[in-house]
Structure 1
Amino acid sequence: MTMSSTRKLLEWIRSNAADGNMGGLATDLLRAALVNTAQWGGGWEELLGLLGELPADQRERLAGALAEGYPTVGKRSEPRNHVLTMLAAISHGLPEYPLADERATQLAELGRQNTIWYATRLDAVAEAELAAGRTLDPAVVAAFRRSGTDAYRHGVFADLLKKITEPVLNVGEEWAEQAMRDASTPDGQALLTHLLTATTSKPSARWEGKAATLVEALGAEQVRAHAVAWLALAGRPRTFRLAGQAYGADVNELYDPYNANALRGLAWLVSLLPPHPDTARALGALVETSLKKVTGIGPRNPKVANAGVIALSRVDGEAALAELARLATRVTYKATAKLIDGFLEAKAAALGLSREEIEELAVPSYGLTGVGQARHELGETTALLEVRGARAVLGWRNASGKAVKSVPTAVRRDHAEELKELKAAVKDIDKMLSAQTERLDRQFLARRTWAYDTWRERYLDHPLVGTLARRLLWTVDGTPAGFADGELRTLTDDPVTSGAEVTLWHPVDREPAEVVAWRDWLERHGITQPFKQAHREVYLLTDAERATGTYSNRFAAHYVRQHQFNSLAAVRGWRNKLRLCVDDEAPPATRELPRWGLRAEYWITGDGEYGEDTTESGSYLRLRTDQVRFYPLDAPENSAHCYGGEYRMWLGPDEDPVEPLPLTEIPPLVLSEVLRDVDLFVGVASVGNDPTWQDGGPGGRFQEYWTSYGFGDLTETAQTRRALLDRLIPRLAIADRCTLEGRFLHVKGERHTYKIHLGSGNILMSPNDQYLCIVPKSAATAPQAGYLPFEGDRMLAVILSKAMLLADDLRITDPTILSQL
C-alpha cells in the first residue's frame, strides 16, 4: 500500500467514524489488509493510533464487523496478521476480544520465524495476548527477542520486551535449554539473567563482582561443571529449525543473537572460577565453534569468539596458555587472531621471553611420560596412550597383559573419571598435533636457531612435540641429522650426542644428491615425516623470471575458487580480503616476512558478473590470478579494483613510490617457500581440478583453461608426486597394471586403459582419450601401499584410490561411473 492510499484510508476511517458506519469501515480495513505488503510506512502507526482512539461503542461494533469478515482475507499469514493487529488496537480495554483463538494460532506461527518485521506491529497482538492473561509460547518470545536485538526494531518492541521475563534464555538452542533445566532455582535463574548483561567487549569490575556473588550462592564447583557442559553444547544443531535468512545465510547456522550475549557472559564467568583443564578445553572449543564459517556471513559470531579468548587469557595455568598457543596456529579471522597475538605477546614480555619461546613452552605433555606414550594402571587393567603419526590412540591390556579391543567393563564402572580424562587427552593431543604440525611447517621462514640443550628439551625430547620433531631433519652445528633407533644420527647413521646450535633442515640449499640420500635414509628407517621436508618442492628462479626481473608469472592466469583460496591463504599466514562485486578496491594477497624485512604479494582479481558468478551476498565465486612480487616490508601497499584493473601503490602525503625488488635479490629459501604456498593455493583451489567441470563451468567459459590445467604440464608439487609414485607403484598389489608415462599414471583395466593426471587427478580412458568423471570422497585416504615418506598429500590419496578402483573395473558398481564406461 502506498503512502497516498494509506492517507486515503485514514480519511475513510475518520469519515466512517463520524458517520458511525462501522460496517463500511470494516470493509475498507479488510481490503487494505489484503492489498498491503507490510510496507505501510509511517501511516501504519497513525492508523493504529486512530483506531484505538475511537469511542468504545464504535470500536466494539468495528471489532465485531472485522471478526465477521476475517475469513474473507484467506489463509495467507500476512493479511491475517494485519487484521489481528488492527483488532488488537481496536479491542484494547474492551470486555470482549474477538478471534482470541485465531490470535493465539497466528502468534504460534511466529515461533518458527527468525525475526518479525517491525512494520507489521505484531507486538500489539502479543500485548493483547498478555493483557488477556495468557502467556506467550517460548518460541514466540524468542522471535520477538531476536527482532528486538536489531537496532532498527528495538524501539518498536521495547515495551513488549520489558513485560517478558520468562523464559530467561531463548529456546531453540541446545545449550540454552539445558542451562535453563540445570539452573531452575531462583539463584540459578539470577545467574542466567546476569549472563545476558554481557554486552561489552570485556567484563567490568562491577559485572565480575556480581557474578562472584552469584557463584558463591550456588557453589563454584557446581557452577563450573554446569557451565563447561553448556559450553560444550554451543553451536549444536538447533532443537527446532527457523524459517528465513540473514544476509543470504541460513539463520539456523548462526547463534541466536539474544542468547549470544549470555554465551559471552558464560565465557567470562568460567574465567573467574578456579582453573581446571576442562575449562580451557571448553573455551578453546567455543572460540573455534564461534569462528566457524557460515555462507554469506563469514565467522558465526566473532564477539563470542573474542570473549572466549579474553577468558582464556585470564585463566591461570598451563592448559589455558596451551589453548591460546594452539588457537594462534588455527584462527584466521583477523580481529580474533590479533587479540590472541596480543595476549601471547604480553605473556612473553611478562616472562622476558620471545613470542616463539612462549609458543614452545605452552605445549603441554597431556600426561605423556615418554615421547608419544603413557601407561596408566586402572585396577587390573592397563591403559596405553600412544601417538601414532598424526593421531593419538588409546589401547587396553587386561591383567594377563593381553590386548583387548574395547574399554573393559571394570574400567567403565570403577574408573569413570580417569576414563573421561584419558578420552579428553586423546582429543586434546589430536588437536595439538595438528596445530604443532602447522607451526613447525612455518618455521622454515622463521629463521629460528636453538641452543642444543634447549632444542632437545622443547623439541626432540618433548613428550608431544617430540613425536613430530623425531620425524624431521635438523642441522646440528651445520651437520644434518635425523632421529632413528633411539639416537640423533647423521646420514651415515653416526650418533650425534651434543652440539651448540640447531636449525631446521631445508632442501633448497642442499645438493640434489644429498636430498636424495636423505630420502633413502628416511625410507630405510621407515620414517614418515609429518609434512614434506626431504621431499619438499624447491622453486628456483627460471629463465622467464630472470627476464621479467621483478615479478613471477609462474602461477598467473589461473581461475581459483575464491573462498577456498581465502581459507588456504589464511592457514598459511597470508593476509587477504574477499573480493565483492562492488565498487571497491582491495590489496593483493599478502604474506609479511618480518624476519627477512620482506612482503610477498600475489595479485588477484574477481572474475565474472554479479549473480551467476557471485554468492547471494555479492562475493565472487572465483578469482583470476596474476603476478607474484616482493617489496620491502614497510613499502606502501598496492591495491586494485575488486573486479579488475591495474594494481597501483597508494601513497601518503610524504611517501614515495617503492619499486618491487628484483627476484635475484630474494633469498632462495624465501622465494621457494612463497612460491610453494602459491602453488598450493592454485593446486587445491583451481577449477581445473574439479572433475565435474568437463563442460567448462558456467556457459562453458572455462573449457580451455580446465583442459589445459587438468591435463597440462606438471607443477613442482605434481613432479614430487610423480617421483614418489615411481618408488611406490612397485609395492602396490596392482603394480603389474600400472605404469608412469609423462604426466600420467596409466592403469590397465579389463574394460579400458586409464590415464590419471598426476596434477589434477583427472582421468582419460582408451581408446580415444574420453574423459571419465569420478568425484572423490571429501576425505579420501590412500589405500594400503606400505611405507609413505610424508603425510598430507590428499591428491596422492585420490590418485591411488582411483588407480585401485580402475585396475579392477569389472567390479565397479557405482551407476554414475558405469554409465561412462
Structure 2
Amino acid sequence: MPASQAWVVLAQAHIGDDTTMDQLAPHVRSWPARSRWARAIDGLAVLATVGTDVALRHLLAIEENMVGGPTNERAVVYLTQAAALRGLSVTQLADRLVRTHGLDEGITLDYGPRTFTVVTDDHLTAYAVGANGRRLARPPKPGVKDTRPEAYQRFLQLKKDLRTTAATQIARLERDMLEHRFRPAADVAAVLLPHPVLGPIVRRLLWAEYDAKKRVVRALRIAEDGTFADLHDTTAIVAPDAPLGIVHPAELGADLAGWAGLLADYEILQPFPQVHRPVVMLTEAQRAATSLAGPGPLPADRADRVVARGWRGDGFHTSGRPHSQLAHRLPGGLTLLVELDQERITEIWVDDAWSSHWQLVRRTPMGVCDPSALSELLVALES
C-alpha cells in the first residue's frame, strides 16, 4: 500500500485479465473502509478501463453497495462511460451482465452411469429431474457405482448461487422502481424475458410506459405469451423505443386496487412488495395545497432513526436539543421538509433544494412532487 507503489494497481488496466479483476475487486471494496479513497478510485478506474463483462460485473456490484459520496459518484461516472461505449445505459448494461449460471444452455448432472437434468421453477428454485421424468428436490447422493460424485456438490452450489443472484437482482429491480430507471420496450422481449434468471422475476412485476416528463402513460403487465396487457387484460401494442419502467403503486392512483385484484386472479406472487406496498397517495385537494398537516407524534428516538435512514435533522447543532426540522431530497431539485414541535409533526411542506428553508410562506404545491418518492418518505415517517 505505499503511495509510491500506486502504479501497480493502475498497471492492471493494461496487463490484467479477468482473473486479475476477480482478485482486485475485493480490495477495491475494502479500501474505502480503510480510508484508502484514492486507491479505491484507482481500482474503479481499472475495472472500467478493462471493460470486460467480468470487470464491469464487479464494478456494478461495488457501486450498488455504496451509500453515496465522491467515490460512489466516480463509480457512477465510470459505469456510465463503460455503458456508453457499448451504446447502452447503465440499466441496460446491468441487465445484460446478469449471470445465467448455465441455465440458458441447459445443465446436466453427470454421475457417470446415471444423469439428471436441472430445471428451475418460476421462483428460481432448482430441481433435478431423473430419466423417468420425476422431479426431485435434489438428486440422490452418489453411490458406490457413481464415477463422478462431484456432480452432487455442483448441484448444491448451483442452488446457493441461484439464490444469491436472484436476491441481488430482485433488490436491483426494486431500486429501479424507486429511482425511475427505464429501459426501451424492445429490451423486455429481447433481453429480460429470455434470460433464465431475469425472465421469471420480471414476469411477476407491473410495468408502465412513461412520457418525456417521467409520467405514467399506461400501466402494463407481461402476459403469458410475452406480450403486454393492460388493466382490462387487452393486448397493448408498445413501440419498441418506448421507455418502460417498473411502476410504483403511488403512480397507479385509482387503478391500484384493480391491478392488485388482477394479479390475485392470476395467482401472481410478486418478488418484492409492489401492488401491496404501503403507499400514501395525495387527494386532489392535498396536491393543490402547499403543505400537509402533521400525521401525528414523532418521538425523539424515532426521529433519530429517521435521520439514520437518509434524512437530515437540525437537532445536532445544539447539544441535547431535539430536532425541530427534518429534510430529505426529492427528485427535480426539491426538498421535503418536516416541521416538529414537542415531538409532534406539525407540518409537511416542500421547498427548493437550494433554499435555506426559512421562509414562512409556503409556495410549492405538494402535487409537483414525484409521487413515488413522496410516498416512500411519508410512509417512512408514519411507520
Which residue of structure 2 lines up, in the alignment, with residue 376 of structure 1? 108
In structure 2, the CA distance between the partners of 1:309 and 1:604, relative to structure 1 (3 Å rule), is: farther
Q: SS state of the match for residue 629, structure 1?
A: strand
Higher relative contact order (CA 8 A, sep 6+): 2
Distance 2:319 2:178 in 1: 36
Residue aligned with 1:341, SS:
helix
Matched, 1:430 2:166: yes
Match of residue 53, structure 2, among 311, 314, 318: 318
Q: Which amino acid aligns with 2:244?
A: T
Q: Which amino acid aligns with 1:456?
A: A
By how many angstroms is 1:678 displaced?
Answer: 1.9
Amino acid of the residue matched to residue 274 of structure 1?
Answer: D
- Structure 2 letter corresponding to 1:523: A
- C-alpha displacement of 1:599: 1.8
Secondary structure of the 2:18 match is coil
Q: Which residue of 2 aligns with 1:224?
A: none
Residues 395-544 of structure 1: matches in 2 within 5 Å?
395-406=127-138, 408-409=141-142, 410=146, 413-415=149-151, 418=154, 422=158, 425-443=161-179, 445-446=180-181, 448=182, 450-475=183-208, 480-488=219-227, 489-496=229-236, 499-500=239-240, 501-504=242-245, 505=247, 508=250, 512=254, 514-536=255-277, 537-541=279-283
Q: Which residue, out of 663, 666, 669, partners 2:365?
A: 663
Partner of 2:379: 680
Match of 2:350 in 1: 630
- The residue aligned with 2:329 is 591
- Superposition map of 1:257-276 within 5 A: 273-276=16-19
- 1:326-337 to structure 2, matched below 5 A, reads 326-337=61-72
Structure 1: runs of 5+ lacking an equivalent: 1-197, 210-267, 292-298, 570-574, 608-622, 639-646, 649-656, 685-821
Is 2:292 aligned against 1:552? yes
Do residues 205 (structure 1) and 7 (structure 2) align? yes
Cα pair distance change 1:387/1:564, threshold 3 Å: farther
Distance 1:323 1:565 in 2: 31
Q: Counterparts of 2:349 and 2:256 in 1: how far apart (Å)?
A: 28
1:349 shift after superposition: 4.1
Give the TM-score, by structure 2 length. 0.71
Give 1:348's match in structure 2, choosing from 83, 89, 95.
83
In the alignment, the residues of structure 2 paired with residue 498 and residue 475 of structure 1 have an alpha-carbon distance, to the nearest angstrom, of: 10
> Is the Cα contact below 8 Å between 1:381 and 1:411 reproduced in 2?
no
559, 562, 565: which one pairs with 2:306?
A: 565
Q: Letter of the aligned partner of 1:347 in structure 2?
A: A
Please give the alpha-carbon distance, in whole angstroms, between the structure 2 residues aligned to 1:378 and 1:539: 55
Query: How far off its partner does 1:471 sit?
Result: 1.2
In the alignment, the residues of structure 1 paired with residue 232 and residue 285 of structure 2 have an alpha-carbon distance, to the nearest angstrom, of 37
Distance 1:208 1:417, change over 3 A: farther
Partner secondary structure for residue 376 of structure 1: strand
The count of residues paired between Structure 1 and Structure 2 equals 362
The Cα shift of 1:502 comes to: 4.9
Structure with bigger gyration radius: 1
Separation in 2 of the partners of 1:520 and 1:453?
Answer: 28
Q: Residue 126 of structure 2: which of 394, 415, 423 is its match?
A: 394
Inter-CA distance 543–493: structure 2 relative to 1 (3 Å threshold): closer
Q: What are the superposed Cα offsets for residues 586-605 of structure 1, whole Å, 9 maximum, x if unpaired?
A: 99543241xxx332334478
2:102 to 367, 373, 376: 367
Matches within 5 A, 1:577-726: 580=316, 588-593=326-331, 597-603=332-338, 627-632=347-352, 635-636=354-355, 638=356, 648=358, 661-664=363-366, 666=368, 670=370, 672-684=371-383
Pick closer, same or farther for the CA change 1:315–1:394 going to 2, 3 Å: farther
Q: Could you tell me how far apart the structure 2 residues matched to 1:507 and 1:327 are?
A: 29
Pick closer, same or farther for the CA change 1:313–1:509 going to 2, 3 Å.
closer
Partner secondary structure for residue 395 of structure 1: strand
Q: Aligned equivalents of 2:320 and 2:51: distance in 1?
A: 44
User: Secondary structure in 1 aligned to 2:158?
Assistant: helix
Contact 1:309 1:340 in 2 (8 A): yes
Task: Tell me if the contact between 2:99 and 2:165 (Cα under 8 Å) persists in the aligned partners.
Answer: no
Q: Could you tell me whether the CA contact under 8 Å between 2:349 and 2:366 is conserved in 1? A: no
d(CA) in 1 for partners of 2:24 and 2:347?
Answer: 41
In structure 2, relative to structure 1, the CA distance for the partners of 1:452 and 1:564 (3 Å cut) is: same
- Write the distance in 1 (CA, Å) between the matches of 2:61 and 2:53: 12
- Please report how far the alpha carbon of residue 578 of structure 1 lies from its aligned counterpart in structure 2 after TM superposition: 9.7
Q: Distance in 1 between matches of 2:218 and 2:284?
A: 29
- Which structure has more strand as a fraction of its residues? 2
Change (3 A) 1:207 1:496: closer
Task: Write out aligned runs for 1:196-235 (5 A).
Answer: 198-200=1-3, 204-205=6-7
* Contact 2:250–2:375 (8 Å) recurs in 1: no
Q: Is the 8 A contact 2:104 2:195 kept in 1?
A: no
> Displacement of 1:436 after TM fit?
2.0
CA distance in 1, matches of 2:379, 2:280: 13
Q: Deviations over 1:36-62 (max 9, x none)?
A: xxxxxxxxxxxxxxxxxxxxxxxxxxx
Structure-2 residue corresponding to 1:779? none
Once superposed, what is the RMSD of the aligned Cα atoms? 4.6
* Residue 766 (structure 1) aligns with: none
**d(CA) in 2 for partners of 1:492, 1:309:** 47
Deviation at 1:331, TM superposition (A): 2.1
Cα separation, 2, equivalents of 1:314 and 1:382:
41
Q: CA deviation at 1:352?
A: 4.6
In structure 1, distance between residues paired with 2:149 and 2:94? 38
Q: Distance in 1 between matches of 2:155 and 2:15?
A: 27
Letter in 1 for 2:290: T
- What SS is found at the alignment partner of 1:454? helix
Kindly indicate whether the alpha-carbon contact (under 8 Å) linking 1:600 and 1:630 is maintained by their aligned counterparts in 2.
yes
Map Cα deviations across residues 550-575 of structure 1 (whole Å, 9 max, x no partner): 33344564125466434543xxxxx6
C-alpha spacing 1:541/1:363, structure 2 compared with 1 (3 Å)? same
Residue deviations 1:82-131, cap 9 Å, x none?
A: xxxxxxxxxxxxxxxxxxxxxxxxxxxxxxxxxxxxxxxxxxxxxxxxxx
Query: Residue type matched to 1:517 in 2?
Result: G
The alignment partner of 1:384 has SS state of: strand
Q: For the structure 1 residues 567 and 287, does the alpha-carbon distance in structure 2 shift closer, same or farther, using more than 3 Å as the test?
A: farther
SS at match of 2:196: coil
Secondary structure at the counterpart of residue 530 of structure 1: coil
Per residue, is there more helix in 1 or in 2?
Answer: 1
In 2: Cα distance, 1:283 partner to 1:434 partner: 26
* 2:214 paired residue number: none
Describe the shift of the 1:679–1:509 C-alpha distance in structure 2 as closer, same or farther (beyond 3 A): closer
Is the CA contact (8 Å cut-off) linking 1:386 and 1:393 kept in structure 2?
Answer: yes
Distance 2:15 2:159 in 1: 26
**Contact 2:291-2:366 within 8 A present in 1 as well:** no
**CA shift digits 1:188-247 (9 cap, x unpaired):** xxxxxxxxxx144x96336767xxxxxxxxxxxxxxxxxxxxxxxxxxxxxxxxxxxxxx
TM-score, reference length from structure 1? 0.37
- Tell me the secondary structure at the aligned position of residue 171 of structure 2: helix
CA distance in 2, matches of 1:283, 1:658: 53
